[in-house]
Amino acid sequence: MTRTAFFISDGTGITAETLGRSLLAQFENLEIRMVTKPYIDNIDKAQSLAEVIQATAIRDGEQPIIIDTIVDENVRKIISSAPGFKVDIFSTFLAPLEDELATHSTYTVGRTHSIGRDDVYMNRIDSVHFALDNDDGARTHQYDKADIILIGVSRCGKTPTSLYLALQFGIRAANYPLTEDDQDEDGTLKLPRALMPHRHKLFGLTIDVRRLAAIRSERRPNSRYCSMDQCMQEIQQAEALYRQMHIPYIDTTRFSVEEISTRMIAEAGLNRRF
């Protein structure tokens, strides 16, 4: 059975989509077609979307799921007139909160993802710049300013995790790749000299060998870089280094970047800046 779910908002749609995807992910036996519709912020757009929802209901033979965070009452009424099972996030949760807090909500469009306080916004931007500047061991002299330093073999997820930590939590994350240049003469991987003063900030990433080989094959097919033997050797040496140096680490194979980041924050005891 295929059902269609609409995530509708008069702002970015991020809140509706995030909550909607989280809820619908619990229904593994259903095939759900997900459609995000941001900036439905006037009557004309609402009427056009209501027609699309109506046509979708006819095509599917089932009413769509409608998850919205629409503030404007007039726009919400039009969307409510379309056939569908509706989850109105704001009306569901704001009214009880108003009762508990004994005050009325401002019902401001786009409030959740607005810039808001300048210091919070600038902290986010500064953290993203730090992650970009310190990607792949680019500027090790800045590691004294890092909140955390991710280490691991090439293509194990260091860069996306660093950027997510910066963008979502304002954490200054650097990352350093473990390569053959960091091996002793006998081929044993050692902790790079640039990382020694910052051992307390290190957090390792590892990954399933087959998954790593597949990712590397997309970048450099039929190369030593993506061979199973090479990937196996690098992963085994990295994990041995983590254990020897008592560096906490996480396997990124089956976790999303969101899960990796939040687990890392919990294990490392990092403080979110927002």
Hey, where are the domains in the chain? Answer: 3-101, 117-268
Look at residue 182 and tell me whether its pLDDT is greater than 80. yes
231 labelled ligand-binding: no
86 labelled ligand-binding: no
Q: What is the pLDDT of residue 116?
A: 53
Q: Which of 3.40.50, 3.30.110, 1.10.1740, 1.10.3470 would CATH assign to domain 117-268?
A: 3.40.50
- In tens, the pLDDT along 4-38 reads 999 999 988 888 898 899 899 899 888 999 999 99
Answer whether 110's CB lies under 8 Å from 11's CB.
yes
Dihedral angle, C-alpha 258, 264, 266, 271, nearest 10 °: -90
Answer whether 211's CB lies under 8 Å from 257's CB.
no
110 labelled ligand-binding: no
252 labelled ligand-binding: no
- In tens, the pLDDT along 36-59 reads 999 999 999 999 999 999 999 999
Strand partners, 87: 67
Q: Is the pTM of this model over 0.85?
A: no
β-strands 249-251, 202-206: how paired? Answer: parallel
- In tens, the pLDDT along 204-234 reads 999 999 999 999 999 999 999 999 999 999 9
157 labelled ligand-binding: yes
36 labelled ligand-binding: no
User: What is the average pLDDT score of the chain?
Assistant: 91
Of 23 and 89, the structure prediction assigns the larger pLDDT to 23
61 labelled ligand-binding: no
Among candidate residues 106, 104, 124, 128, the one with its CA nearest the CA of residue 115: 124
Q: What is the pLDDT of residue 2?
A: 82
Q: What is the pLDDT of residue 107?
A: 58
Look at residue 111 and tell me whether its pLDDT is greater than 60. no
153 labelled ligand-binding: yes
